Amino acid sequence: MIIEKSSARRSRKRAALAFVLLSAIAAVSLPAAARQGPKPAFEERGSLSQARPPVEARGNWMHEYVQLRLAAQNLRYAIGPMTEYEMQQTITPKIVGGTVAGANDNPFQVGLLTKSVASNFDAQFCGGTLVKANVIVTAAHCSDFVTAGQVQVLTGTRNLDGTGTRRDVVSIAIHPNWNPNTFDYDVAVWTLSSSTSGIPFASLASADPAVGTNLLVTGWGALTEGGSFPIDLRKATVPLVSATNCNDRNSYNGAITARMICAGFDRGGVDSCQGDSGGPLTQGSVLTGIVSWGNGCARRNKFGVYSRVSNASIRSFIVAQAGL
């Protein structure tokens, strides 16, 4: 009798779960989803414990879609054998433990909202950064499945409690080289229908800080693994990681391109490490990265991955689209 090793069983589970996640993404992302209302979260089957996936039910199909595609991306680049607990953490959406953000912590942070959902908390599905009075920068993976008429941008608030101003969007530009399979060139520029006033803008990085430099990430991401999402904007500090470290065999094994940077902790297991998709990673008022993907808190040597704003192709795209 041949007994299957536990690592092989876990690899099969991971492959099966990736297939289910990708299938769910395809179902949720159909244009009909917007017409038919929110899709129910799927249930894992068989050996995957009948557990529900890490998708918080807000009645918002855009929020669900972003979480599912991130889960699939993170699982795709999970290297080596994993316990079921590690697998669950790997597919969990971005996490912010940290503390409540102050007025001067990334004051240019905005929220991306589903226009048809009245509550700001329920409507929010991604983050973004104000770089001009009527222009924000966010992630392509928050942008390639919506139209300008389906979304709004929340400005002028640190909370999802009904305060702030919801602004319509007139155009969405996605980097022409955006690759949804690898998350390369994960950047988009949204133009608003009206201009903000009294809100600082972020400037764009032209070079990366030194490795080990502490950077600030903010967002309305989950407070704990698989846990609730906050109304107050949260902040966390993470050190910049070298591309060599992030790209080695025990991290992302070559998946990190020149358009990506990494930040986080080698030891893993840290609650404060990631923000919302599309949100800012900053050094002072300089936008250094855009929250993209990565296992973040889940495992040792698994860092948060951000679009690298200093990269010539990323930066020039933002400058051209924003008219900076």
Considering 141, 184, 292, 307, which one is annotated as catalytic?
141
Task: Report helix, strand or coil for 140.
Answer: helix
The radius of gyration of the chain's CA atoms, rounded to the nearest angstrom, is 19
Considering 184, 186, 208, 276, which one is annotated as catalytic?
186
Rounded CA separation 275/221 (Å):
5
Q: Which residues contact 316 (CB under 8 A, 6 or more apart)?
A: none
Establish whether 232 is a catalytic residue.
no
Considering 272, 277, 292, 307, which one is annotated as catalytic?
277
Rounded CA separation 81/78 (Å):
9
- Residue 316 buriedness (CB in 10 A; 0-12 / 13-18 / 19+): exposed
Structure tokens at 189: 């520029």
Give the largest CA-CA distance in the chain: 72
Rounded CA separation 176/170 (Å):
19
Nearest to 205 by CA among 289, 265, 135: 289
Rounded CA separation 293/278 (Å):
10
Rounded CA separation 118/217 (Å):
27
**Sign of the alpha-carbon dihedral angle for 22, 23, 27, 28:** negative
How does DSSP classify residue 209? P
Rounded CA separation 207/37 (Å):
43
Query: Which residues in 105-126 are b (16+ Cβ under 10 Å) and which e?
Result: bbbbbbbbbbbebeebbbbbbb
Establish whether 63 is a catalytic residue.
no
**Residues annotated as part of the active site:** 141, 186, 277
